[in-house]
Amino acid sequence: DIQMTQSPASLSASVGETVTITCRASENIYSYLAWYQQKQGKSPQLLVYNAKTLAEGVPSRFSGSGSGTQFSLKINSLQPEDFGSYYCQHHYGTPFTFGSGTKLEIK
Amino acid sequence: EVMLVESGGGLVKPGGSLKLSCAASGFTFSSYAMSWVRQTPEKRLEWVATISSGGSYTYYPDSVKGRFTISRDNAKNTLYLQMSSLRSEDTAMYYCARQGGGDAMDYWGQGTSVTVSS
């Protein structure tokens, strides 16, 4: 199975800052990488798929990049509604696997 | 509006069985592959099962293969997960999700909680 290693596990930032979360795959997954946001008590929501394609309705301050085994999610100018947890997941066929998550908290 | 509503969760003893349902609306259900994903109490996300749009193909991780069965009724716009031989490590929130662009999970339900405990 493909292992997804996500970092950092937690991150503290202020409104207006820019943050980056990284995800590494244990083997080449080309661009088959998705990012999800999850707020407390809610289900995950798709942010980015195919490494860099924003899902419908996702603000342009979010951007995804990378290919192969190294990927990142960048959030420009953090807004209060951006705080929560973020997960990466490869969608390069089954078994799908997720990163362990990054908890983004308000500083 | 795409909506996925799970039901059927609850408390079950180890070795027991449970069947989850996911009612879909707001899209052409029969055109999409669907999946179940669970989130453990430690907040880890785990893929549980996927079924093709027509229902002919199913996929499972080794951790549930032979114990869980995913199925669908396209006439009723409903996805199912039959779980048997349940273990304590199956305790989780179970979400159904639509496989969208590139096979990423583009819509998720609100989840149904399963607790396996004696």
Segment B16-73, tens digit of pLDDT: 999 999 999 999 999 999 999 999 999 999 999 999 999 999 999 999 999 999 999 9
Contacts of A100 in chain B (CB under 8 A): 44
Residue of chain B nearest A96, judged by CA positions: B47
Whether the CB of B41 is below 8 Å from some CB of chain A: the reply is no
Instruction: Indicate the SS3 state at residue B101.
Output: helix
A24, A70 Cβ separation under 8 angstroms: yes
Q: Measured between CA atoms, how close is A14 to chain B, in angstroms?
A: 24
What is the per-residue pLDDT for A55?
Answer: 95
CA dist B80 and B8 (Å) reads 10
User: Looking at chain A from residue 41 to 60, which residues have their Cβ under 8 Å from any Cβ of chain B?
Assistant: 42-46, 49-50, 53, 55
Q: What is the largest CA-CA distance in chain A?
A: 38
Angle at A10 between CA A48 and CA A6, to 5 degrees: 50
**Backbone phi, then psi, for B69, in 5-degree steps?**
-135, 120
Confidence label for A71 from pLDDT (cuts 50, 70 and 90): very high
Check whether A10 has a pLDDT greater than 80.
Answer: yes
Cα dihedral across residues B101, B103, B108, B109: positive or negative: positive
Record: contact B59-A95, CB cut-off 8 A: yes
Residue of chain A nearest B98, judged by CA positions: A46
Contacts of B34 in chain A (CB under 8 A): none
